[in-house]
Amino acid sequence: MNGEIIAFCCEHSAYAAADAAGKQGLHYPEKLRVIRVPCAGRVDIIHMLKALEEGAAAVLVLGCEDGLCQHLTGNVRAKERVKYSGMLLTEVGIDGGRVGMFNLAANAPHKFIKIIKEMNERIKKQGR
Amino acid sequence: MPVKMGIFLCNCGGSLKNIDFPKVRENLEDLEDVAFVDISHNLCLEEGEKAITSRTLTENINRVVIAACSPEFCERNFARLLEKLRLNPNLLSLANIREQCSWAHEGDVTRKALELIMMAVDKARLLQPVERKEVAVNKEALVVGGGFCGMKSSLELSQLGIRPTLVEREPTLGGKLKELEGFYGSQREAMIKAVEKEENIEILTSAEVIGVEGKIGDFRVRIRRETKEILRTFGAIVFATGYKTEITAGDFPLKLGINIISQKRLAQMLQAPTLEASPETIGFIFDLSDENSRFPTLATLNNALAVKQRWGSEVYVFCKNVKVDSEGVEKLYREAREKGVMFLKFDENPKISADDGRVRIDAGDTLLGEEIALTCDLVVAEEKLLPAEGTEGLSSVLKIRTDSQGFYQEENVHLYPVSSERKGIFFVGNCRGDLDLGRVLADISSVVAIVHELLSPGKIMVEVERVKADPQKCVACLTCIRACPHRAIQLVQIDNEKVVAEISQLACDKCGICAAICPAKAIKFEGYSDDQILAQIEAIGVS
Amino acid sequence: MEIVVIGGGIAGITSALELANSGFTVHLIEKEARIGGQAASFCCKATEVCSKCSACLLPQRLSEIASYPQISILTNSTVVGVNGKLGNFQVEVCQKPQYISPKKCIACGMCIEVCPTMPKAIQPPPPEAVPYSYSIGESQCLYLKREECNLCREICPTHAIIFGQKPQRQKLNNVGAIIVATGFDVFNAREIGCLGYGRYPNVLTGFDLERIFRNQGSLKLSSNAKEPKKVAFIQCVGSRDENHGYCSQVCCKYAMRLARLITYQNPDAEVTIFYIDLQTAGKGFAQFYKEYQESIRFIRGVPIEISEAPSDEVEVKFENIAEGRVERENFDLVTLSVGIAPRKDSWELAKVLGINLEDDGFFDIKGPLNTTETNVDGVFLAGACQSPKDIPDSIAHGISAAERAMEVLQRCQ
Amino acid sequence: MIVAERKPMEEILQMIAPYKKVLLAGCGTCVAICWTGGEKEVGILSSQLRLARGKEGDKTNTVEATVERQCEKEMVEELRDKVEGVEAVLSLACGAGIQTMAEVFEDKPVFPAVNTTFLGSPEGEGVWLENCGACGDCFLDRTGGICPMVRCAKGILNGPCGGTRKGGKCEIDPDKDCGWVLIYRRLEKQGRLDLMRKYYPPKNFRAVKRPGKMKAIKA
């Protein structure tokens, strides 16, 4: 891997938002790689760390809006895991902001684009 | 059996011009386990289906990778096709090279497309078939609460051929209908009779649910009837435990008494055959504490009209906003105004004080822009709609969350309207919030439709081992059981010794939270297992 | 047994899915080129937190219905005749020429590239459209006008483009029940001339705002391409007046949600809501209202007149009740919270089906306890064609109609 | 159950600094259950180490293994092949497990990756409470099954201290219950309040931190 952004996308929301962005012709950085998951709550700390270890520049976990997780706590757990992963990264001297969790709905392609672009800016600043 | 993979690339009628398909094929062809790479124009149409069919059968492949449009469009169709070809649908791996690759970027994206396909290929290698089987379900349903909602649900269920058991904690049916007059009151006798006449409905009065174990299709419910405890099994449970109304002390400055009364008391007075002297001035007040209920508006409008008709009193309504957002209420509001009911809308809560045996209300009216002082013979206080007695206890028995006011169900639009987070447990009517008649009726028939759909076939198709805890690795730490949002996991004893977690495929909603949280890595979620996710990560950037 | 669902909005889709899940074959008849109805143009109104507008419930259902084998979707179609009775209706459907077959079109976009007209006669579908296929506008297409051009037909890889089509009539026999889910018309704000809608560019409706947020992700004024700073919402436009004896039930909520979205995207923005009564009931909504009571200005009373002011602003004339005088205030943008109106063509369908309309123009129900049944046995109502409903209520009503239909059919068999 | 917390990263890095190839050994019992040293945490720590060292251009070679109980010699013995292939062992087990590991493989340096903190019981998802101080002189029979040495912030044997707050909360930490109030209530329920009147001579205290509480930050 070489500086890609990995996004774990919940199939109920973020994955559809990514599709909608494509359908509307909204462009985003090519380095994004989407991995579809059934719920943001499926994404584990090791998945995020492994991705960075393999050379990803950033990892995003994108789930449903707060209170709208079909599995009630999936997005909340994901947020805490991302926070924890960020701490683990800071511990070893890596910017914890390179993992991020965001909430969005299936019909929010613009928000999707915004998240990806902001993360891209962040890693660009760090020279990746 | 060794992995033998077939890869189908779809160029969407040749329109995905920023992907060099021959080059992609070249890169994929020499991969291990890959039998062939086909490029097609339109896999989603009939001819594409034919191409997949013939190639799959002649090459005898056991993994199918399809690079095409979003799985949102094609996943179900391709899965169905695989099934037709006697291949397990879980052996399908998709790469979204249209919406999330070709359409999302400008310029040549061949490399990205290739990577996305490589991710799908590496995942496909690890895919295992997931068998499906039919599980028999109990076709009987339990309805808790013998009020309007419970009775109507039972009647509609029995009309659709589901046998409901109706549990009511009071000695007689009727619930809140017993207190209501007018339209609802008129329905009471007819409804109770209809329920009692219906042979399919079993009625248990003076009975309460004290325990619920098990899962959809097989709930084991403990019911206490008088002093006896009965254990029964049901396929689904419908809660229609209703509401109560209450005047909360903190919200209303004066205590109820002779001239400050509740809506219920007013309704009783209106029904009384004689009254010593009918009150000359009546004030209604609501919106003092919060504004999230339609109930006070409805009760006020109905009672104000009745007062006008019966006593001809002067009627004043003090409120912030008249809640007219349900069917027919605006018309009721108009009628009330035409009949002379005065509406005074305040911003700050009015002062209410005792005034020589009467009640004085001092309020600022925002429409007139004036302070108004009014002395009433009778003031009808705002009543809050709250969950019925025992709702909290029941929700902890069920391990189901309640909202901030104690009603069943958090607001989660995905679970709307009547389903709970536990499959097979439903809520109808006012036990899940403040609903008007139209919404209550919609609730009832929708829950009946869903229960019917679940139970009437007598069996449910489930994936046998989609999510599975490995008994060798499980340390019975209970973490997954505590984390599972759908209460689908429980401890079981295997081989008469070890106690391990077991996931009920019936109750499981396939979210994977347990697989992520298991500290012993004992839970595998086929299709999204750690190996399969990591394989995708590792495939990135390799080409 | 087959069932016809008229109208492919959220209510109709829900009914169709429910019935198909129970083993019925469903014909979903949609007047427009695509199903999805009004909800398809609504935006996500989440800020830091979700505002529970339910607009995101549609995409999932759309993708589910698109690949459902027991549901046949007939777009561009209307019901023109109905015979028979409960358990055995014959429904005659007329399908307008589509020119691009939705079954064959794979939305590859090659046709649009070669289309020589400007603006293009061929249009792509909106993101969540079902069927996801292109459409040809009759007024621009050179072939349809003068048979001059054939470029798209030549390039189409799946031969999906067919010209020279005539309206087609087909009869659906053996229809057990009919569910009417024709939805609503958005109230036409031009009908109230003094509000200036259609005359002033910076007077929009709530539905316009939904579309703008939906398609562009943020709100920019068409006049100066800037985010508006002072925004007014005017409630009850086309509801609760002399012609509309009902509350549209959705406008207070969407106005407050949009107001919050505007202030979230542009913290400098000041939003004023002019209202008669705020409808804050509903799970959790009062809490939502409480949180924004401080940051949004609420003024009781609906403005009298809207006129144009210099530098693209809009002047709102309203009565300041507290001060007891008429005031004027300028806004960058005035949003009219237009309500739900019965469909203009309801009476035509009512005539075909033999069902009644109530005073306000919505379809009439059988009785207070049968909100999905009509005076004709076997014809049911779902969603906002019966009375104004928001998305969750339409979904519940849709399932409800399906259940009643199932029950009635089971009884008559 | 034994509760442990992972050591600060800096400390771990320092310990293993001289070694290129390290075995991360987890334990599948107590520390797995308290989310500190099971197979999952072994994976996370190992990944973290590679990230840390990779940054310094010195990629650690980590081997991962988890045994059912690291305090059992026979079970640790299963790791012999893996241990022989590495320069050092980083154990995520409790103190007992680490020592067993060190004993079985006497010629290899064995380092602790966790601090063993207390004996706890789970209070809910991801929360463990210290209830027992392992003092070796149990007198729960007299205190209604609640140990004042641990549950009282001051470890008072003949309590309460007199500083109890309203609502039965501890003087030192108002979020915690006063241990002696809990004991009183329990004994009251059992009708054994007379036990409160008895005097107990001082115990032979050992150093124990009290009352301990560990809360996992991850879900």
Continuous segment of H or E residues that includes residue D155: none
Cβ <8 Å between C22 and B449: yes
* Chains A and D share 3 or more Cβ pairs within 8 Å: yes
- Same domain flag for C179 and C38: yes
A45 vs D9, D10, D218: nearest CB: D218
Over residues B206-233, the mean pLDDT reads 92
Check residue B1 and give its pLDDT: 81
Phi, psi of C172 (to 5 degrees): -100, 115
Lowest-pLDDT range, B227-241, C12-26, C99-113?
C99-113
Q: Give the percent of chain D with pLDDT over 70.
A: 90
Say if residue D215's pLDDT is above 70: no
Cα-to-chain-centroid distance, residue B381: 33
Say if residue D212's pLDDT is above 70: no
Check residue B287 and give its pLDDT: 86
Return the partners of chain B (3 or more C-beta pairs < 8 Å).
A, C, D
The domain total for chain A is 1
Over residues B169-198, the mean pLDDT reads 85
Check residue B193 and give its pLDDT: 93
For B521, other C-beta atoms within 10 Å of its C-beta total: 21
In CATH terms, the fold of domain B246-384 is FAD/NAD(P)-binding domain (3.50.50)
* Chains D and B share 3 or more Cβ pairs within 8 Å: yes
The CATH number given to whatever domain includes residue C19 is 3.50.50.60
Phi/psi-derived region of residue A76, left when phi > 0, alpha when psi is between -120 and 50, beta in every other case: alpha
Which pLDDT band, with edges at 50, 70 and 90, does A57 fall under?
very high
Distance from CA of A38 to the nearest CA of B (A): 6
Q: How far apart are CA B425 and CA B239, in angstroms?
A: 8
Q: 3-state class of D25 per DSSP?
A: strand
Say if residue B275's pLDDT is above 70: no
Continuous segment of H or E residues that includes residue C151: helix C151-155
Check residue B251 and give its pLDDT: 65
Q: Give the percent of chain C with pLDDT over 70.
A: 100
Which pLDDT band, with edges at 50, 70 and 90, does B250 fall under?
low
Say if residue C325's pLDDT is above 90: no
Interface test with C, best of B183, B325, B441 (most C CBs within 10 A): B325
Q: Does C44 touch chain B (CB under 8 A)?
A: no
Lowest-pLDDT range, B449-463, C214-228, C282-296?
C282-296
Answer with the residue of higher pLDDT: D134 or C3: C3
- Same domain flag for C237 and C294: yes
Distance from CA of B247 to the nearest CA of D (A): 29
- Residue B454 in contact with residue C22, Cβ under 8 Å? no
Q: How far apart are CA C2 and CA C142, in angstroms?
A: 40
**What does the DSSP assignment read for C192-214?**
SGGG-BTTBTTEEEHHHHHHHHH
- Same domain flag for C295 and C395: no
Cβ <8 Å between A81 and B516: yes
Instruction: State which residue of chain A sits closest to D39, comparing Cα positions.
Output: A46
Mean of per-residue pLDDT scores for chain B: 90
- Same domain flag for C26 and C171: yes
* Chains D and C share 3 or more Cβ pairs within 8 Å: no
The domain total for chain C is 2
- In chain D, where the domains are located: 2-118, 121-215
Nearest Cα residue to B445 out of C181, C384, C402? C402
Return the partners of chain A (3 or more C-beta pairs < 8 Å).
B, C, D
Over residues D107-136, the mean pLDDT reads 90
- Residue A43 in contact with residue A61, Cβ under 8 Å? yes
In the DSSP assignment, the letter for residue C42 is P
- Same domain flag for C91 and C192: no
Say if residue B389's pLDDT is above 80: yes
Contacts of D166 (CB under 8 A, 6+ apart): none
Answer with the residue of higher pLDDT: C363 or B73: C363
Choose the CATH number for B140-242+388-459 among 3.90.580.10, 3.50.50.60, 1.20.120.430, 1.20.140.160.
3.50.50.60
- Same domain flag for C283 and C293: yes
- Same domain flag for C300 and C368: no
- Same domain flag for C192 and C271: yes
Rounded to two decimals, the pTM is 0.92
Say if residue B411's pLDDT is above 80: no
Question: What is the pairing mode between strands B281-285 and C168-180?
Answer: unpaired
- In chain B, where the domains are located: 5-130, 140-242+388-459, 246-384, 465-525
Residue with tokens 């400008």: B106
Tokens encoding C165? 């089509």
- Domain containing C386: what range? 2-96+167-184+342-412
Distance from CA of B512 to the nearest CA of A (A): 5
Distance from CA of B164 to the nearest CA of D (A): 37
Q: How far apart are CA B275 and CA C131, in angstroms?
A: 67
Cβ <8 Å between B77 and C67: yes
Cβ <8 Å between A104 and C44: yes
Cβ <8 Å between A104 and C218: no
Cβ <8 Å between C399 and B417: yes
Q: How far apart are CA C317 and CA C328, in angstroms?
A: 5
Over residues C333-359, the mean pLDDT reads 94
- CATH code reported for the domain at B465-525: 3.30.70.20
Q: How far apart are CA D43 and CA D25, in angstroms?
A: 10
Q: How far apart are CA C298 and CA C293, in angstroms?
A: 8
Over residues A57-61, the mean pLDDT reads 96
Check residue D214 and give its pLDDT: 62
Tell me the pLDDT tens digit for each residue of A38-52. 999 999 999 999 999
- Same domain flag for C331 and C346: no
Phi/psi-derived region of residue C82, left when phi > 0, alpha when psi is between -120 and 50, beta in every other case: beta
In CATH terms, the fold of domain B5-130 is Rossmann fold (3.40.50)
Q: ω into residue B164 within 30 of 0, thus cis?
A: no
Check residue B294 and give its pLDDT: 87
Nearest Cα residue to A41 out of B510, B300, B68? B510
Q: Give the percent of chain B with pLDDT over 90.
A: 61
Phi, psi of C28 (to 5 degrees): -100, 115
C22 vs B418, B438, B453: nearest CB: B453
Which pLDDT band, with edges at 50, 70 and 90, does C145 fall under?
confident
- Domain containing A81: what range? 5-125
Q: How far apart are CA B378 and CA C298, in angstroms?
A: 32
Q: Does C287 touch chain A (CB under 8 A)?
A: no
Helical ranges in B85-229 per DSSP H: 110-126, 148-159, 182-197
Over residues C302-323, the mean pLDDT reads 85
Q: How far apart are CA C149 and CA B466, in angstroms?
A: 54
Cβ <8 Å between B512 and A67: no
Check residue B410 and give its pLDDT: 67
Over residues C344-372, the mean pLDDT reads 93
Check residue B371 and give its pLDDT: 87
Hey, which residues 311-370 in chain C have their CB within 8 Å of chain B? Answer: 321-324, 368-369
Architecture of domain D2-118: 3-Layer(aba) Sandwich (3.40)
Return the partners of chain D (3 or more C-beta pairs < 8 Å).
A, B
Q: Distance between terminal CA atoms of chain C?
A: 11
Tokens encoding D118? 């207390």
Q: Please, is B415 exposed, middle or buried when counting C-beta atoms within 10 Å of its C-beta (0-12, 13-18, 19+)?
A: middle
Interface test with A, best of B533, B534, B542, B543 (most A CBs within 10 A): B533
Check residue B177 and give its pLDDT: 84
Say if residue D99's pLDDT is above 60: yes
Say if residue B235's pLDDT is above 90: yes
B324 vs C104, C277, C300: nearest CB: C277
Q: How far apart are CA C340 and CA C187, in angstroms?
A: 6
ipTM: 0.91
Say if residue D178's pLDDT is above 60: yes
